[in-house]
Structure 1
Amino acid sequence: MRFLFIFILLILPVPVISEGIPFYLELLSDKTKNCFLRFFETAVSNDFSCSRKFNFLEKDNVKKRASFTAGKDCFLRIVQEKCDPDRYDVFNYYYEELVDTLTFIPAHSGCSETYYRLNAQRCYAQKKLMEIEIERQLERHPGLKNSTEVMVLCKNIQDCMEGLCFTEDEQSEIEFSLVVPELTVSHFTVCILTIDKELPDLSKYKCLENQSFYVKTPEFLCERYRKSKRECLRAVTQDYCGRDVVKPVEGFLDDLIDLKCKNVLFGN
C-alpha cells in the first residue's frame, strides 16, 4: 500500500509554478494581485453569467467562504479567461488554500498580509466601476444626469474599504467624493482621475510650492481646492485635460471647502 500511495503521488499532476516559487509567495505576486482585480471587475459588472449566482463581493467571511466554495468552477472560468494562463493551474491546485487566504483574518494585522492585499482588489474594482459610471453620466444631457447612481457606488466603495487596509489618501478621496455629488459627477473629477493615473511630472508648476499633487489627505485636498489656490489648480488641470474644468465647479468646490475644511483651513 505504501508503494502504491507513493506511485499515486508521483503521477498526480502538479501545477507549474514559475521558478519554483512557494504558493504563499505566488499569492503576493503582481500577477495574482492583477488577476484578482480582473476577477472582481468581472464580478462587479456581471460580465460572466455564472458570477450572478454567487456573491463573490460578500464582505462577511463566512458567507464569502460559502460563495467561493460553491462557485469554484465559475471563479476558475473567469480566471482562465481574464488572467495569465498559469494562474488557472496554480489556483485550481491550491483552491482550498486560496479560499482560506481570502476568508480568514490573519492573526497579525499588518497590511502587507495577503488577506488584505487580495480583498482590497474588490474595492479597487468597484472604484473603477464608479469612474466608468461618472463618465457615462457626463455623456448624458444635463437634465438627465443622475448623480445618485454614482453616490451609491461611492458609498459601496466606502463600505468595502471598512475593515481592510487602505492609505489615508485613499480613504480621504472616497470620503470627499461623497460630500458634493455635483462635484464628483463632473469633468473636473474625470480630469483629476486622469492625472492621478498618468502621474505626469508636475515639478514645473511653481505654484504647487513643492507639494505633491497626488497626496489626498484632508489637509492637502483642502489646501489645493481653496480659493487662493484655484488658479494653480486651473493651470495644472487645463494643461493636462485641454480645457478649463475648474470654472464650471467653482461653486461646488466652495461647498466642499465649507463642509469639509472648516477645521483644516485657517483663513482664505
Structure 2
Amino acid sequence: MKSLILFIFCLIFAINCAPGAENCTKEDLKECIPLEKKLESYASKYKGYRMPEISYNSSIIVCKDIKKCYSDLKCKNAKELKEDVDIKCSKFEYLTAAIHVCSARFYRAVYSKKYECTSKFNFITQDLSAKRSAYQNGKSCFLEVVKQECNPESIEFLNDNEKYGRFVDILTVKPDDKCRGFHHELAALECRPIVSSIEKSIDDLKKNDPKLVASISRCDEALTCVKNACNYPLPYQVDRKCLMLKLATTSLGECESKVHAKWPTVSKYPCLNGTWPMEKKVFCLNKTVAGCFEKSNQSERHGGYIKGESCFLDFVRSDCNQNLFEYFSKNYKQFAETMSIKPKNGICLDPHFQLNGLRCKGFADELNSKKEFIFDNEIFRNDSRFIYVSNLCRELQNCMNESCTYGETATEKIGRECDILELTATSFGRCLSKIRKEKPNISEFECMNGTDFYSGKPSVSCDKFKSRRKCMKRIMRKNCGKEAIEDYRKCADTLSNYFNCN
C-alpha cells in the first residue's frame, strides 16, 4: 500500500523518484566552472556598454565551449545551467552594437519629447502588442532618433532589417526565463527617464508648483513600469519617492513643514506667555518641540512631544488650517508616538520615516531662505544671524543622517555645504568675498596665467585651490593681509572637498 501511495504521489507531482537524479556537484562542474567565470568576466565588463568585436568573437568561442561542457553532464540541473548560458550568450550580439546605451538614449528622447515624430507612436507602453505595432509602424521615426542619438555601431545594427526584427521581438515578447534575459533589461531601462523626472521634482520641491503636480500624475506610470520590469533595482524606492511627493502637497505635509521650519516669536503663542524669565519661555518651544527632534533617545524625544503639546497646537492653530488643528487636537498622542518612536520593522515607507523626512524639508526651506544673506554679506562668527543659520545647517545634516529617506550622497553634500557656510564667517572667507567683489588686478602673479580667475566655474576653483594653491595664497595675503591665510591649508582643503576636486 505504501509503495502504491508513493507511486501515485510521484506521478501527481512529476517527481523523479529514480535514484541518481541529483544536482551537479563541484566535482561534476570542475571543467565547466573556469569557462563560466571567463564568460562572466565578459558579461560584467561590458554590461551596458559596447563590446569590441575581438572580445565578442572570443566570447562566442567560450559560449560554445561551455554549452558543450554542460551538455555532456548527466546531473539534474545541467540543463538549467545550459539554459542560463544560452541567455547570457544571446546578449553579446547586442553588446557589440551598444544597444543598451542606444535604447536608454531613445527612451530619454521619447520622454522629453525631443523629436516630434515620437508622439505619434506608443513606443513606451506596458501593452506589448501595442508596443510591437509602434515599432513596426514607427520604424522610420525610431531610426531617425537613433541616427541622432546613438553610436555608429548601433545605427548600423538597427538599420539591418533582420536584426531590427529580432530587436522588436525581444522588446515585445515576454520570455519565460526567470527574469534573466535582455527583454527585462530593456524594460528596466525604459523606466529610468520617468523615475529620474520624479527624483528631480523631489530635489526642486515647491508647493503648488504645476510641475510637481505633473510629477505626481506620472507616479502611477512609473510604478506600473517598475512593477513590470522584474529586474529594476530597488523598485520600492520609487514607491517611497512618490509617497514623498504626495505627502508634500497635502495640507498635512505643508503644515508639518511650517511647524518644523518656523521659529515663532514669544508674544504669538499663549504657552510662552506668563511671568517666567525669557530663558524659561524659550525652553517651552525650543527644548520641548524643536529641541526634542535632536534627541536620539526615543523616550526623550517622545517626552519632548508630550511636554510641548500646548505649544505645538498653538502653532498649528495659528499657521495651519482649522481642519488640521482639529485633527492634531484629537490625535496628538498618536501623532507624537508616530513621530518619536521608530518602528521595529524598519520599513522606510512607514509614516514615522516619511513624517520625519518632512521635518528635514522644513529645516531645508528655512536654511535656503536665510543662507544667501550669509553668503552676500561680511559676517563674523559671533554674529547671531550666522550662529542661527550655521546651527540650522547642522540640524538639517543631523536630520538627514537619521532619516532613511535621504541617501548618503545627499547627506554628504549638505555636510559640505555646511562647511562652506561656516567658512564664510572666517577671515579666509571674508577675503574671498572681498576679492570677488573688488576684482583686484592680479596680472603681477604670473603663476595664475591662463586661469579665468574670476569665473565661478568649479573647475576654476579647483585650479586655484588645488593645482595653484600656493599662488592663491600669495594673492590672498597681498589683498587681505596675513590674518586671511592663518589656517589656509585647512580652508583650501574644505573648498577642494566641496568642489570634488580630484
TM-score with structure 1 setting the length:
0.60
* 2:99/2:154 contact within 8 Å kept: yes
Does residue 221 of structure 2 align to residue 153 of structure 1? no
Query: C-alpha separation between the residues in 1 aligned to 2:184 and 2:117?
Result: 25
Paired positions, count: 192
Task: Mark the CA change 1:73 to 1:133 in structure 2 (over 3 Å): closer, same or farther.
Answer: farther
Q: Which residue of 2 aligns with 1:96?
A: 165
* 2:195/2:238 contact within 8 Å kept: no
Unaligned 5+ segments in structure 2 are 1-51, 61-89, 254-295, 297-344, 357-397, 419-502
Query: C-alpha separation between the residues in 2 aligned to 1:238 and 1:102?
Result: 38
Query: C-alpha separation between the residues in 1 aligned to 2:228 and 2:208?
Result: 38
Query: C-alpha separation between the residues in 1 aligned to 2:157 and 2:400?
Result: 52
Q: Which residue of 2 aligns with 1:81?
A: 148
Task: Mark the CA change 1:183 to 1:238 in structure 2 (over 3 Å): closer, same or farther.
Answer: farther
1:19-53: CA deviation from partner (whole Å, max 9, x where unpaired): 46577423256922121111001011110011111
Greater mean alpha carbon deviation, residues 174-183 or residues 158-167: 174-183
1:196-224: CA deviation from partner (whole Å, max 9, x where unpaired): xxxxxxxxxxx9xxxxxxxxxx8463699
TM-score with structure 2 setting the length:
0.34
Unaligned 5+ segments in structure 1 are 1-16, 187-206, 208-217, 245-268
Percent of aligned positions that are identical: 21
SS at match of 1:162: helix
Query: C-alpha separation between the residues in 2 aligned to 1:163 and 1:238?
Result: 31
1:112-167: CA deviation from partner (whole Å, max 9, x where unpaired): 301100121110121123234445x54x6x55465322212222110112222135
Task: Mark the CA change 1:31 to 1:180 in structure 2 (over 3 Å): closer, same or farther.
Answer: same
Partner amino acid for 1:175? D
Residue 184 of structure 1 and its aligned partner are, at CA, apart by 6.6
1:47-91: CA deviation from partner (whole Å, max 9, x where unpaired): 001111111012111110000001111111111111111101111
* 1:151/1:181 contact within 8 Å kept: yes
Query: C-alpha separation between the residues in 2 aligned to 1:150 and 1:222?
Result: 19
SS at match of 1:180: helix
**Structure possessing the higher radius of gyration over alpha carbons:** 2
Greater mean alpha carbon deviation, residues 231-240 or residues 144-153: 231-240
Q: Which residue of 2 aligns with 1:120?
A: 188
* 1:68/1:99 contact within 8 Å kept: yes
Using CA pairs under 8 Å that are at least 6 residues apart, name the structure with larger relative contact order, 1 or 2. Answer: 1
* 2:201/2:212 contact within 8 Å kept: no
Query: C-alpha separation between the residues in 1 aligned to 2:171 and 2:188?
Result: 10
Task: Mark the CA change 1:119 to 1:86 in structure 2 (over 3 Å): closer, same or farther.
Answer: same
Q: Which residue of 2 aligns with 1:32?
A: 99
1:82-109: CA deviation from partner (whole Å, max 9, x where unpaired): 111110111121111110010011132x
Q: Which residue of 2 aligns with 1:71?
A: 138
Task: Mark the CA change 1:91 to 1:232 in structure 2 (over 3 Å): closer, same or farther.
Answer: same
* 1:64/1:103 contact within 8 Å kept: yes
1:117-196 → structure 2 map (5 Å cutoff): 117-135=185-203, 137-138=204-205, 144=209, 147-166=212-231, 170-181=234-245
Query: C-alpha separation between the residues in 1 aligned to 2:172 and 2:246?
Result: 37
Q: Which residue of 2 aligns with 1:18?
A: 53
Query: C-alpha separation between the residues in 2 aligned to 1:119 and 1:112?
Result: 12
SS at match of 1:59: coil
Query: C-alpha separation between the residues in 2 aligned to 1:184 and 1:26?
Result: 46
Partner amino acid for 1:97? R
Query: C-alpha separation between the residues in 1 aligned to 2:166 and 2:202?
Result: 37
Residue 183 of structure 1 and its aligned partner are, at CA, apart by 6.1
Query: C-alpha separation between the residues in 2 aligned to 1:160 and 1:180?
Result: 19
Partner amino acid for 1:69? Q
Q: Which residue of 1 aligns with 2:114?
A: 47
Query: C-alpha separation between the residues in 1 aligned to 2:349 and 2:131?
Result: 38
* 2:216/2:246 contact within 8 Å kept: no
